[in-house]
C-alpha cells in the first residue's frame, strides 16, 4: 500500500480495541437479575434461536447459583460466551423482553449470560456434564466453528467418538479470528473450544480436508460426517482494478486485526469499504481504530435496506465512519497501488416481478474519491470445489441442501449446518444447527429420537 496511516502507540491501540461492552460487576448482575419478571411464557426464550431458558438462568444468578446458571445456558447453547458478546441481542432476546412494552430498558440478557459464563471459565470449568459411555460409533466433523463445536459437544456427551478437522492453526472458526477484538477476545472463543475438548473431542488443526487428507479417508474412518465449513470464498466486485495493491477482503483484514499485533497491520490513510453488512461495519470501525484518517462505506441501496443492524450502524457512525448510500463502485483506479475509487450514484428503478425496486445508475453521475485502500465486503461464498468431492452432495443457490429436520444432506452419510446451509447468519444459528444435526446423526446411527 502506498499511503499507510501513521502507526499509533500501544496505549492508543489498547484503548481503541478495548471492550465496548464492559462486564457487569457482581452487584450490578444481582440487581439486574432481580429486575427480571421470570415471565411464565418467556418471550425472550422464544426469540433466542437456541431457546435458552433465560428466566431460569437469570433466576439462578439472582440466588447466587452461578454454576447452575451456566449449566442451564450450556444445556441449550455450547457457544454461549460468544453469543453473549456478539449476538444482536437487541433484535433477539432483549428485543423480545416484556420491559420493551413498558417502555423501560429490557433486561440485559447478554451481559447476564456473559456474567454466568465468565465466572464458569474463571473457576476452571468445573465439570457440569458427564459423557455417556462410548457407544462404538465415530463421527468426523469438518470445521471447528460454532456449528462444528456444538455438534461435537452434543455427540461426545452421547458417547460418540468425535474428531474435528480444522484447516486453520487455531480452532474456533470465525469466533476465533473473525470477530472484532472490542466485541470479544480470541481467548473467549478458545475457552469454548476447551470446554468441548473436555468432553473427549479430538481436534486436528492445520488439516484441510480435500487437500491435506482426502474426503474418502473421512468416510472410511467415521460412521458419519458433519460439514460445518461456513463460507470462506470471498465474492468479487467484478470491476476493473480489483487486483491492485491495497484491495483486500474484509474477512482477511479482520483476521489480521484479530491475530496479529495491531502495529503490524497496515491500513490506508483513506479507506473505502464496499458493502454495508455487519462484516463491512466491523472492517470499517477496525480500520478507523487502527488509525485511518477517513473511512467511508459505499452501499448501492439506501440506509433502509442496509443489512447491518442499527446497533452496528451507530457504532460506525460514532467512530466517524461516513456512509455513501445509493452509490456503486465502477472502477478502482491506480497504476500498481490503489489511488482512487470511481463511483456512480444510484436510484431505485421500477419494481421487478417480485415487487422489489432494483437500484440503477443515475446517468452522468460518476465521481471519484481519492482512497489508498479498498476493503471488499460483498459476501462470502461456499467452497464448491471442495464440496464437489463428496458424491451425491447437492448445492442450491450457494447452499448445501439438507433435510430441515435431520440436517442430513443428499449424501446420507453427510450432515451439514451453519453458514454453509443458511448462506450466512448469526453464531447462535450455527450453534443451534450443530446441536440439531447431532440429533440427526444419532437418529441415523443408533435410531434414537
Ligand atoms: Fe425476564 Fe424479560 Fe425474559 Fe420476562 S421477557 S423472563 S422480564 S428477560
In short, whether 87's Cβ falls inside 6 Å of ligand 1 is no
Residue of 97, 100, 105 to mutate, ligand 1, most atoms within 8 A of C-beta: 97
Q: Which atom of ligand 1 is nearest to the CA of 38?
A: 6
Specify the residue for cell string 447437492.
394
Q: What are phi and psi of 257, to 5 degrees?
A: -65, -35
Structural domains of the chain sorted by starting position, each given as residue range(s) with its CATH number in brackets: 34-122 (1.10.1060.10), 138-230+382-446 (3.50.50.60), 234-380 (3.50.50.60)
| Burial (0-12, 13-18, 19+ Cβ within 10 Å), 103 | exposed
Which residues lie below 8 Å from residue 108, measured CB to CB, with a gap of 6+?
24, 32, 94
Residue of 43, 48, 89, 113 to mutate, ligand 1, most atoms within 8 A of C-beta: 43
DSSP 76-111: H-TTHHHHHHHS-TTTTHHHH-GGGTTTSPPP-HHH
In short, whether 109's Cβ falls inside 6 Å of ligand 1 is yes
Q: Which atom of ligand 1 is nearest to the CA of 43?
A: 5
CB 114, CB 192: distance < 8 Å: no
One digit per residue, pLDDT tens: the chain, 449 residues? 889 999 999 999 999 999 999 999 999 999 999 999 999 899 999 999 999 999 999 999 999 999 999 999 999 999 999 999 999 999 999 999 999 999 999 999 999 999 999 999 999 999 999 999 999 999 999 999 999 999 999 999 999 999 999 999 999 999 999 999 999 999 999 999 999 999 999 999 999 999 999 999 999 999 999 999 999 888 889 999 999 999 999 999 999 999 999 999 999 999 999 999 999 999 999 999 999 999 999 999 999 989 999 999 999 999 999 999 999 999 999 999 999 999 999 998 888 777 777 889 999 999 999 999 999 999 889 888 889 999 999 999 999 999 999 999 999 999 999 999 999 999 999 999 999 999 999 999 998 65
The Cα–Cα gap between 42 and 47 comes to 9
**Considering only CA atoms, which residue is closest to atom 1 of ligand 1?**
36
In short, whether 239's Cβ falls inside 6 Å of ligand 1 is no
Strands 233-234 and 380-381: what pairing? Answer: antiparallel
Count of C-beta atoms within a 10 Å radius of residue 429:
20
In short, whether 98's Cβ falls inside 6 Å of ligand 1 is yes
Residue of 31, 32, 38 to mutate, ligand 1, most atoms within 8 A of C-beta: 38
CB 376, CB 234: distance < 8 Å: yes
In short, whether 61's Cβ falls inside 6 Å of ligand 1 is no
The Cα–Cα gap between 151 and 228 comes to 9
**Considering only CA atoms, which residue is closest to atom 4 of ligand 1?**
39
Amino acid at each position: 500500500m502506498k499511503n499507510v496511516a501513521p502507526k499509533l502507540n500501544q496505549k492508543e491501540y489498547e484503548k481503541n480495541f478495548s471492550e465496548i461492552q464492559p462486564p457487569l460487576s457482581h452487584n450490578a448482575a444481582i440487581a439486574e437479575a432481580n429486575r427480571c419478571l421470570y415471565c411464565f411464557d418467556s418471550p425472550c426464550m422464544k426469540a433466542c434461536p437456541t431457546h435458552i431458558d433465560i428466566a431460569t438462568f437469570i433466576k439462578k444468578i439472582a440466588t447466587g447459583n452461578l454454576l447452575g446458571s451456566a449449566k442451564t445456558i450450556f444445556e441449550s447453547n455450547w457457544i454461549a460466551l460468544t453469543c453473549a458478546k456478539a449476538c444482536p441481542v437487541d433484535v433477539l432476546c432483549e428485543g423480545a423482553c416484556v420491559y420493551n412494552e413498558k417502555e423501560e430498558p429490557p433486561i440485559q440478557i447478554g451481559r447476564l449470560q456473559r456474567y454466568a459464563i465468565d465466572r464458569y471459565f474463571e473457576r476452571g470449568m468445573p465439570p457440569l456434564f458427564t459423557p455417556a459411555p462410548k457407544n462404538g460409533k465415530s463421527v468426523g466433523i469438518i470445521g471447528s466453528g460454532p456449528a462444528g463445536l456444538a455438534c461435537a459437544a452434543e455427540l461426545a456427551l452421547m458417547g460418540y467418538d468425535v474428531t474435528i478437522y480444522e484447516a486453520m492453526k487455531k480452532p474456533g472458526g470465525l469466533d476465533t479470528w473473525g470477530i472484532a477484538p472490542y466485541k470479544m477476545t480470541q481467548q473467549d472463543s478458545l475457552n469454548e473450544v476447551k470446554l468441548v475438548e473436555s468432553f473427549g473431542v479430538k481436534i486436528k488443526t492445520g488439516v484441510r480436508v480435500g487437500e491435506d487428507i482426502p474426503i474418502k479417508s473421512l468416510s472410511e474412518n467415521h460412521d458419519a460426517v458433519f460439514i460445518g465449513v461456513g463460507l470462506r470464498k470471498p465474492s468479487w466486485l467484478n470491476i476493473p482494478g480489483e487486483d491492485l495493491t491495497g484491495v483486500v477482503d474484509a474477512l482477511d483484514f479482520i483476521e489480521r486485526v484479530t491475530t496479529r499485533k495491531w502495529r503490524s497491520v497496515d491500513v490506508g490513510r483513506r479507506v473505502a469499504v464496499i458493502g454495508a453488512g455487519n462484516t463491512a461495519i466491523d472492517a470499517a470501525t477496525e480500520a478507523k481504530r487502527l488509525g485511518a484518517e477517513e473511512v467511508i462505506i459505499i452501499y448501492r441501496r439506501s440506509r433502509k435496506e442496509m443489512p447491518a443492524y442499527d446497533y452496528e450502524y451507530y457504532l460506525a457512525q460514532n467512530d466517524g465512519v461516513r456512509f455513501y448510500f445509493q452509490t456503486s463502485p465502477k472502477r478502482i483506479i491506480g497504476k500498481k497501488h490503489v489511488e482512487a475509487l470511481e463511483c456512480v450514484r444510484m436510484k431505485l428503478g421500477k419494481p421487478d416481478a417480485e415487487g422489489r425496486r432494483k437500484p440503477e445508475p443515475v446517468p452522468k453521475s460518476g465521481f471519484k474519491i481519492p482512497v489508498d485502500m479498498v476493503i471488499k465486503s460483498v459476501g462470502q461464498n461456499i467452497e464448491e470445489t471442495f464440496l464437489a468431492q463428496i458424491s451425491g452432495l447437492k448445492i442450491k443457490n450457494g447452499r448445501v441442501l439438507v433435510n430441515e429436520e435431520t440436517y442430513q444432506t443428499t449424501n446420507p452419510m453427510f450432515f451439514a449446518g451453519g453458514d454453509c446451509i443458511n448462506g450466512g447468519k448469526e453464531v447462535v444459528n450455527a450453534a443451534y444447527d450443530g446441536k440439531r444435526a447431532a440429533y440427526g446423526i444419532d437418529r441415523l446411527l443408533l435410531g434414537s429420537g
